[in-house]
Structure 1
């Protein structure tokens, strides 16, 4: 399970372009070939990063079209990614971001993630986004469409709890019925897959937690949010090979960790070091900031994914605006609990209206180095 503060996955965790807009400006020549995933050979096919487009915790941290355009260019030109996983809620935000990614020649993994609303609204949101993905695909863009992410977390009714945070607590406390949970997960997954097939005719995907039981016959690509930790690469390979039994491409739809010592060993729970009951929110206990820890973990995993020739890998995530870095105040350095490859720096710390910018962390350069080596210039 991924970041629950980057639980902007907490606003489903704590414009620009309408759906019917005219076609995207698509790349030509070498960029178009790259967008279509040409080249083949061994190694990862898609080298990506997660870019979340949720509404944001405050106006200052909300999705912004100007910032989005600059971020996507940095993802292509500085991070050296060829793929962006556009995820979050809000059809206008999702489609505007996917359109700009297509214009830049990036492969798009488009994944709507609407949370804490009735099932009908989640499915309508999925269908509307999928119809746009199909139009983008027919215009020549390189697109995979994911019907969602870890449905037990985002869709009410599968696990008890009115909100994402409620459901996380119930899972951690064991106050749920695993049989009922699996039955609900299966039922919603079938509905989402059928709806996705009806509106999108390219590769259909889903992003599951690594221990989820999913009928992958419903999808073209096996998508896994992967947060294991082993000392030896062979152990990662042994665990990941089990996903090949479906005979389908395997994509790592999320992977990463936080920037403090020991975070890589938390099995995807590294975000759970913030006391949200405090105002302002603060870090629990004495943590030692270590960007090296985060960088080494993502680099090691990319080496594993590359050696296995997986379909793709998306580092989680590019930026987490509501987890600011406060270097002179470790107790309130919320970037410690962020999986982002960049640190968010506020002009006016603790002011929710403050302008901010991002700066690359060590993990950013570790990923960029791996992607540059794999993709060339």
Structure 2
């Protein structure tokens, strides 16, 4: 069978309590995005990178007691991980307007460890301009409105996803990346709606649109989703030699 790789967590500074200040992942994102708050927290508690690596060291020791394959960690680009602990260097590496010119340079830095490099997340939402928002493209939904709706001026465009996907696949192949995983297959929390303002799938990274009303898809009958343009594009890209 295929080799299995153990992924020892994903962006734990955000998704686990105790590495960064904050009761929820959204609180911790707020700390990370505020240089002044992050500086104050670092002065008070010390480097969050040290806490992260201390946890990862303990976790990897336990993992290797029970699992004898390769181990990696799906890191955020803001995390300084001790890659000596792992067999594969992995990063959730999105391209956006802020790192567009430096994306290849940032990617190449992961190769300095002399280990295989895998992109454990990359992706783009399904609207005009989403390519510039990268990993924060989802943040155009008005959660204060009932029901939830898209912000003003959001225009659905499935080809934005396709172009982003193809461009980054080309970069990964040219730079020698060993593997890349699109984020994500489905986002049922952002379901499809015929009314554009309430079509939360537009703000999703998924390659399928999920239905909320019991409908099923036409391409794969019986499934509670239907394919987007990026579904076929992803299949074509993974079929490359």
What is the TM-score of this pair, normalised by structure 1? 0.56
Quote the Cα distance in structure 2 between the aligned partners of 1:310 and 1:356: 33
Unpaired runs of 5+ residues, structure 2, are 216-221
Aligned length: 229
Aligned mate of 1:191, from 45, 58, 63: 58
Unaligned runs of 5+ in 1: 1-31, 36-141, 350-354
> What is the DSSP-based 3-state SS (H/G/I as helix, E as strand, rest coil) of the residue aligned with 1:196?
helix
Quote how far apart the aligned CAs of 1:358 are: 1.1
Deviation of residue 186 (structure 1)?
Answer: 2.2
Shift of 1:300: 1.1
The C-alpha deviation readout for 1:52-89, integer Å capped at 9, x for no partner, is xxxxxxxxxxxxxxxxxxxxxxxxxxxxxxxxxxxxxx
2:159 aligned with 1:298: no
Deviation at 1:283, TM superposition (A): 1.3
Give matches, 1:128-277, under 5 Å.
142-174=3-35, 175-176=37-38, 177-178=41-42, 179-229=46-96, 236-277=103-144
Q: 1:238/1:166 Cα in 2 relative to 1: closer, same or farther (>3 Å)?
A: closer
RMSD: 2.4
Runs of 4+ in 1 over 6 A off after TM superposition: none
Q: Which residue does the alignment assign to 2:182?
A: 315
Contact (CA 8 Å) 1:344, 1:356: kept in 2 or not?
A: no
Cα offset, 1:211, TM superposition: 2.9
Q: CA separation in 2, counterparts of 1:315 and 1:150?
A: 16
Aligned twin of 2:219: none
**Which moved further from structure 2: 181-190 or 242-251?**
181-190
**Greater RCO, 1 or 2 (C-alpha within 8 Å, sep 6+):** 1
Q: TM-score, normalised by structure 2?
A: 0.86
In the TM superposition, residue 302 of structure 1 has moved relative to its aligned partner by: 1.1
SS for the counterpart of 1:346 is coil
Tell me the distance in 2 between the aligned counterparts of 1:210 and 1:312: 17
Name 1:326's counterpart in structure 2: 193
